[in-house]
Structure 1
Amino acid sequence: MQEHPSSVSSFDASAKPHRPPHRTLFERLTALISPEPDNRSELLDILHDAHERNLIDADALSMIEGVFQVSDLSARDIMVPRPQMDVIDISTPIEEWMPLVLKTGHSRFPVVDGDRDKVIGTLLAKDLLRYYADESFDVRNKVRPAVFIPESKRLNVLLRDFRANRNHMAIVVDEYGAVAGLITIEDVLEQIVGDIEDEFDIDKEEDNILRVRDGLHGPRWRVNAITDIDEFNETLGTDLTEDAVDTVGGLVVTHLGRVPRKGDRFDIGQLHFQVLRADARRVDMLLVEKLPTSPAPAED
């Protein structure tokens, strides 16, 4: 009888274990001179260097920075503050708030019942189309459940939730459960891809400086980088001066000695600045907060 070779006999004992390819002397020297980044800051420095050598363009660099930014920012940093929210008060006749729907052109609205703190849901503008064709139209039947999130929720977590649950808007509440503002998926995506022309963008001609929710030290302002320094001083009651530049963005670039990056935080005098939007070429939007004044030393 012919013997069949066993699986053991097919094993080649002389086969050598797989080893990674041998690195040349040049490759080893390159690794010593240019080691892999150990932290995010070093990685961003490498990316900026790649941009300067035209290996990646400014838009790609800005989006990569934006991806890092969403993990550092929370809902309170970019939300539409409660006073600026366009809401539908369902306790009033539809004829009273329908002009607001037509004027703003929003795709969805928070629905309140007599009080801005009493958000009962959201209403899609497209659901109101039947109002003009159906005499028995009941707007309360069109209200959808609202999504509530805390101010501290990180944007990367929020974006994941938006995608998983197919939501586009959330109501932001403070630690006491009061409505603090709202945030949309477009607001989060803007931190990655830059400005998206939507209903919540501030008017750069009209609203160069917009008061937002107070921070740890008091009032905060969202400031367009092209705002004149004189307008900034007049609104905030400051006395910033810089002979070589005219705008707040120019002042910031002069102070840092470089183009600011998203997420940069720094102080100029008694003001704390945070860069909300920027790309490799320019700064676009800043968050500004006055720092508490240090008490004068007691006289002997």
Structure 2
Amino acid sequence: MGETTDGSSGAAHGAHHDTEDEEQSANRGFFGRIFGGFAAPEDEGDEDEDSDGGPEATQAVRPGLSNLRRLRVEDVSIPAVEIVSVRDDIARDELVAVFRDSGMTRLPVYHDTLDHPVGMIHLKDFALQFGFNGEAGEFDIRSMLRPLIYAPPSMPIGVLLQKMQSDRIHMALVIDEYGGVDGLLTIEDLIEQVVGEIEDEHDIEDAQLWTLEKPGSYLALARTPLDEFEAEIGRKLVDPEDEEEIDTLGGVVFVLTGRVPTRGEVIPHPDGLEFEIVDADPRRIKRLRVRLPEAAGA
């Protein structure tokens, strides 16, 4: 009799906890599901250990929850040479120009050199105080600084993502063993390792692989089919023997350089064209500007 009573109580108690678990699971939201994947059992990562962790393995990584465990900060950060940043004594009009030209909403701020960061400036803070025809007052970027997260290169990106979410700081600088700035990441960079590339309102729409900015100058996605773009400009960009191996604009640039070029780099083509890298990360080219010979020198 006691066993029956205890068993019934235990079953009811277990059902009660099951209901609570379901409610908690339903309420934990997007970040909860991501962090749940980060904390998955260790045996799920056995397949990842087969990789030697070299550059080839990193470049072959596809979006997924396993990346939160297998990738480190150094694998996905933007190199220091590509960081768009401003000095702590920058003038108001100069800051406006940097925001406009870069398209960034957050910029790291430094004193003297980037190896001496002092914080981050957010476009929203600047606009609310000095834009929208409001009372501007005396400009001082130091009064608008927000904190940054400083992360070592070896930190798993899942750990950094958790810290960004808990601290409500969406930008991190990568600090090397000597205390210098080695790279930069945003929370978007980390989430893209899980869900894939995130296109915002300023990115070219998927259906629009390229746009004609002005005569002889195109802004294009790196994945633009090569044959379609060649038909658009009326000229061939690869030799006939290479046509089967290269099928995108990004592939043309990669073959010309033998590597993934950095943002802002200009790659000349033997036929007089120029490829300017508009957006790229350490693993792939995203967007580029193609200047035909008549516009390459403009």
The aligned counterpart of 1:131 is 130
The aligned counterpart of 1:156 is 158
The aligned counterpart of 2:255 is 233
1:115-264 matches, cutoff 5 A: 115-129=113-127, 130-132=129-131, 133-197=135-199, 205=220, 226=248, 231-236=253-258
Q: Secondary structure at the match of 2:155?
A: coil
Question: Displacement, 1:182?
Answer: 0.7
Residues 72 and 92 from structure 1, CA distance in 2 versus in 1: closer, same or farther, beyond 3 angstroms? same
Q: Does 1:96 align with 2:89?
A: no
Deviates more, 1:164-173 or 1:144-153: 144-153
Residues 42 and 94 from structure 1, CA distance in 2 versus in 1: closer, same or farther, beyond 3 angstroms? closer
On the 8 A contact 1:91/1:114 being kept in 2, the answer is no
The aligned counterpart of 1:280 is none
On the 8 A contact 2:45/2:66 being kept in 1, the answer is no
Q: Does 1:75 align with 2:73?
A: yes
Question: Displacement, 1:227?
Answer: 5.3
Structure 1: which 5+ runs fail to align? 1-10, 19-36, 45-61, 209-223, 238-274, 278-283, 286-300
Residues 13 and 116 from structure 1, CA distance in 2 versus in 1: closer, same or farther, beyond 3 angstroms? closer
On the 8 A contact 2:90/2:141 being kept in 1, the answer is no
Question: Partners in 2 of 1:225 and 1:175 — Cα distance?
Answer: 41
Deviation readout 1:38-69 (Å, 9 max, x if unpaired): 9437899xxxxxxxxxxxxxxxxx99x61011
On the 8 A contact 2:222/2:250 being kept in 1, the answer is no
On the 8 A contact 2:148/2:169 being kept in 1, the answer is no
Residues 158 and 199 from structure 1, CA distance in 2 versus in 1: closer, same or farther, beyond 3 angstroms? farther
Question: Partners in 1 of 2:142 and 2:87 — Cα distance?
Answer: 11
Supply the AA of the counterpart residue of 1:232.
F
Question: Displacement, 1:167?
Answer: 1.1
What is the aligned-residue RMSD (CA, Å)?
A: 4.2
The aligned counterpart of 2:44 is 40
The aligned counterpart of 1:215 is none
Question: Displacement, 1:134?
Answer: 2.0
Deviation readout 1:173-206 (Å, 9 max, x if unpaired): 1111110111011100001111112599999947
Question: Displacement, 1:136?
Answer: 2.4
On the 8 A contact 1:105/1:199 being kept in 2, the answer is no
Question: Displacement, 1:75?
Answer: 0.9
Question: Partners in 2 of 1:199 and 1:84 — Cα distance?
Answer: 22
On the 8 A contact 2:222/2:249 being kept in 1, the answer is no
Supply the AA of the counterpart residue of 2:158.
N
Residues 226 and 13 from structure 1, CA distance in 2 versus in 1: closer, same or farther, beyond 3 angstroms? same
Deviation readout 1:257-286 (Å, 9 max, x if unpaired): xxxxxxxxxxxxxxxxxx969xxxxxx99x
Supply the AA of the counterpart residue of 1:76.
E
Aligned residue-pair number: 182
Question: Displacement, 1:231?
Answer: 3.8
Supply the AA of the counterpart residue of 2:164.
F
On the 8 A contact 2:164/2:187 being kept in 1, the answer is yes
Identity value in percent: 29
TM normalised by structure 2 equals: 0.50
Supply the AA of the counterpart residue of 1:97.
L
Q: Secondary structure at the match of 1:106?
A: coil
Supply the AA of the counterpart residue of 2:166.
A
Question: Partners in 1 of 2:88 and 2:168 — Cα distance?
Answer: 25
Q: Secondary structure at the match of 1:186?
A: helix
Supply the AA of the counterpart residue of 2:89.
S
On the 8 A contact 1:104/1:199 being kept in 2, the answer is no
The aligned counterpart of 1:250 is none
Q: Which has the higher helix share?
A: 2
Deviation readout 1:67-102 (Å, 9 max, x if unpaired): 011211011111111111111112232222321112
